[in-house]
């Protein structure tokens, strides 16, 4: 964990890849005990997602998996078998929260829908996260980061000053799936908090597509009120509001108030062209951006990211540094916040990972535990807690139950 808040709270995770595992990671980070169920043969599919330690794909080498599943206990279990189902029901009985991201039809086939589960454990909070939710014509459609992003309306409007003759694109990695897991954690905590007073469980139905819609604030507003459809071809209305190259990288200039641009002119040493009528306010600057951009570039290409960033921010100008991974890892601000943490994993060794973006002033932060090896806690859970013997474990494994 990072912060010991949800002491004694038990979470069972029956998830794969990102959304459900990230939801339960957040609960684990806050001190809950999370038992993660993985398929016996090969575990969570995230184990096979890049980046891999030293570019060697292997069950315990995925950076994505190692990050998502820190702080969790890992067991293998095949719920398709009768014994497996029995064990699963046992685990559900003990859990406060159950997080999963399987196809609705699979959960129905396994008889692990909320309707059945609440009979085993009426107080359980069951959080289901799927690409399109538990209801509706697409409920069993196959989603993924690419497809969800586009069906959620974000792909179409990613960026501005774009070109509609080339395809709209998704965001890096799995950011929107992560956002869905985060949203799931938020409402799961709400339902869990409520249970303290009410004693009642809850069934939470999350759709990744709906989580993505959260990002359509502007687009929804514009459509609803002026019936215009935002597109990636739309030109930025204010300028500068762009990422521009500079000597050793890129900076982001986003000026929303005139005094910010005026101050930036001073940072640039007040070149003559800045007095041009065409550039007199943010709207005309946007109108004549094609003329303005190369002029600004003349200056930025002579200066480094740090120079432009620091000298601007010192004057209260909202310039941003476009940081890559190396720069983020070496960033002084993140260093002072101790954002990155080192975790030692049995196979992957000592590595830096992103930590958590929150701090609690009155609680001591503690170091998180590494992600589990495949089946690492089988003995702990099955033998110590459920009373199976070590011999049972061997037989269960041979029979494909675990």
Instruction: Find the binder of another protein among 118, 168, 267, 276 (CB under 8 A).
Output: 168
368 φ/ψ angles, rounded to the nearest 5 degrees? -75, 160
Examine residue 142 and tell whether it contacts another protein (CB under 8 A): yes
User: Cβ of residue 311: shortest distance to another protein, in angstroms?
Assistant: 12
CA–CA separation, 34 and 72 (whole Å): 5
Instruction: Find the binder of another protein among 203, 276, 284, 367 (CB under 8 A).
Output: 203
Examine residue 26 and tell whether it contacts another protein (CB under 8 A): yes
Instruction: Find the binder of another protein among 159, 298, 389, 394 (CB under 8 A).
Output: 159
User: Cβ of residue 39: shortest distance to another protein, in angstroms?
Assistant: 15
Instruction: Find the binder of another protein among 220, 262, 298, 346 (CB under 8 A).
Output: 220
Q: Smaller CB distance to another protein: residue 120 or 216? A: 216
Q: What residues are paired with 319 via a beta bridge? A: 253
Q: What residues are paired with 343 via a beta bridge? A: 351
Examine residue 202 and tell whether it contacts another protein (CB under 8 A): yes
CA–CA separation, 166 and 171 (whole Å): 16
Examine residue 241 and tell whether it contacts another protein (CB under 8 A): yes
Residue whose token pair is 């990072």: 2
Contact region for another protein (CB under 8 A) — 86-94, 127-135, 295-303, 385-393? Answer: 127-135
| Burial category of 202 from C-beta neighbours within 10 Å (exposed 0-12, middle 13-18, buried 19 and up) | buried
CA–CA separation, 264 and 152 (whole Å): 37
Q: Smaller CB distance to another protein: residue 93 or 231? A: 231
CA–CA separation, 279 and 259 (whole Å): 13
User: Cβ of residue 402: shortest distance to another protein, in angstroms?
Assistant: 25
- Cα–Cα distances in angstroms (integers) from residue 376 to residues 36, 43, 58, 391, in the given order: 11, 11, 16, 16
CA–CA separation, 394 and 383 (whole Å): 11
Contact region for another protein (CB under 8 A) — 80-88, 226-234, 380-388, 391-399? Answer: 226-234
Q: Smaller CB distance to another protein: residue 14 or 192? A: 192
Instruction: Find the binder of another protein among 1, 28, 34, 66 (CB under 8 A).
Output: 66
- Within residues 252-291, the interface with another protein by CB under 8 A covers 252, 254, 256, 260
Instruction: Find the binder of another protein among 93, 262, 346, 359 (CB under 8 A).
Output: 359
Examine residue 361 and tell whether it contacts another protein (CB under 8 A): yes
Q: Smaller CB distance to another protein: residue 187 or 393? A: 187
Examine residue 242 and tell whether it contacts another protein (CB under 8 A): yes
Q: Smaller CB distance to another protein: residue 54 or 277? A: 54
**What is the three-class DSSP state of 26?**
helix
| Bond into 217 cis (ω within 30) | no
Instruction: Find the binder of another protein among 52, 98, 112, 261 (CB under 8 A).
Output: 52
Examine residue 34 and tell whether it contacts another protein (CB under 8 A): no
CA–CA separation, 43 and 77 (whole Å): 9
Q: Name every residue whose Cβ is closer than 8 Å to that of residue 174 and which is 6 or more positions away in sequence.
A: 17, 18, 64, 145
Examine residue 182 and tell whether it contacts another protein (CB under 8 A): yes
Examine residue 351 and tell whether it contacts another protein (CB under 8 A): yes
User: Cβ of residue 323: shortest distance to another protein, in angstroms?
Assistant: 5
CA–CA separation, 111 and 261 (whole Å): 61
Contact region for another protein (CB under 8 A) — 50-58, 78-86, 272-280, 380-388? Answer: 50-58
- Within residues 76-115, the interface with another protein by CB under 8 A covers none
Instruction: Find the binder of another protein among 110, 328, 373, 383 (CB under 8 A).
Output: 328
**Residues binding another protein: what is the number (CB under 8 A)?**
147
Q: Smaller CB distance to another protein: residue 89 or 293? A: 293
Q: What is the DSSP annotation of 194-216?
A: HHHHH---EEEEEEHHHHHHTT-
Q: What is the DSSP annotation of 103-164?
A: -HHHHHHHT-SHHHHHHH-TT-EEEEEESS-SSSTTTT----HHHHHHHTTTGGGSSSS--T
| Burial category of 239 from C-beta neighbours within 10 Å (exposed 0-12, middle 13-18, buried 19 and up) | buried
Contact region for another protein (CB under 8 A) — 34-42, 143-151, 366-374, 392-400? Answer: 143-151
């Amino acid at each position: 964990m990072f912060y010991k808040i949800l002491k004694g709270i038990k979470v069972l995770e029956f998830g794969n890849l990102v959304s459900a595992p990230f939801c339960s990671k957040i609960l684990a980070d806050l001190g809950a005990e999370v038992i993660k169920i993985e398929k016996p043969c090969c575990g969570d599919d995230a184990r096979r997602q890049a980046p891999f330690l030293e570019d060697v794909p292997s069950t315990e080498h995925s950076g994505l998996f190692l990050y998502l599943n820190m702080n969790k206990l890992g067991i293998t279990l095949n719920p398709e078998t009768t014994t497996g189902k029995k064990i699963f029901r046992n685990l559900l009985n003990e859990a406060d929260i159950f997080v999963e991201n399987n196809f609705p039809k699979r959960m129905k086939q396994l008889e692990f829908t909320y309707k059945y589960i609440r009979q085993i454990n009426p107080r359980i909070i069951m959080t289901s996260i799927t690409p399109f939710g538990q209801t509706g014509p697409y409920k069993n459609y196959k989603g993924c980061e690419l497809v969800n992003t586009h069906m959620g309306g974000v792909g179409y409007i990613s960026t501005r000053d774009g070109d509609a003759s080339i395809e709209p694109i998704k965001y890096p990695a799995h950011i929107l799936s992560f956002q869905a897991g985060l949203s799931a954690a938020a409402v799961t905590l709400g339902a869990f908090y409520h249970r303290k007073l009410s004693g009642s469980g809850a069934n939470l139905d999350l759709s990744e597509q709906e989580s993505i819609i959260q990002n359509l604030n502007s687009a929804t507003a514009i459509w609803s009120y002026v019936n215009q459809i935002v597109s990636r071809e739309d030109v930025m209305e204010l300028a500068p509001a762009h990422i521009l190259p500079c000597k050793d990288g890129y900076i982001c200039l986003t000026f929303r108030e005139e005094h910010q641009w005026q101050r930036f002119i001073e940072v640039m040493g007040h070149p003559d062209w800045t007095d041009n009528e065409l550039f007199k306010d943010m709207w005309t600057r946007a109108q004549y951006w094609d003329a303005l951009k190369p002029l600004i570039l003349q200056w930025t290409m002579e200066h480094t990211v740090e120079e432009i960033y620091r000298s601007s921010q010192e004057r209260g100008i909202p310039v941003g540094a476009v940081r890559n991974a190396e720069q983020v890892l070496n960033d002084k601000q993140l260093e002072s916040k101790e954002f990155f943490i080192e975790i030692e994993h049995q196979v992957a060794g000592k590595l830096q990972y992103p930590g958590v973006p929150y701090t609690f002033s009155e609680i001591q932060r503690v170091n998180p535990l590494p992600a589990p090896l495949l089946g690492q806690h089988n003995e702990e859970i099955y033998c110590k807690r459920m009373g199976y013997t070590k011999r049972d474990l061997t037989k269960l494994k041979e029979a494909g139950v675990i």
